[in-house]
Amino acid sequence: MKVLTIIATIFIPITFVAGIYGMNFKFMPELEWRWGYVMVWTIIVVVVGIMIGFFKKKNLLSKIIKNRLK
């Protein structure tokens, strides 16, 4: 169950950000920005990096991987 929780925790914020920018709003100012697309991808990568770093710091990823390989 921990594996599912960690995977969901990583993918829920990504899905949220992609859902907002996938709605094709006309009046979102960042859609007209030159670097808007890059900014969204940067946010996604940073959020995932922070979450994976947190899980590694708490040794959750290594424990789950070791238990799965046994």
49 Cβ neighbours under 8 A, 6+ residues apart: none
Domains, the chain, with CATH or none: 2-69 (1.20.58.340)
pLDDT tens across 47-61, in order? 889 988 988 888 877
Output the six-digit token pair for 27: 């009046």
Sign of the Cα torsion 29, 30, 31, 35 reads: positive
Six token digits for residue 22 = 């996938």
pLDDT in tens, 19-48: 877 777 777 777 778 888 788 889 889 988
Q: What is the pTM of this model?
A: 0.67
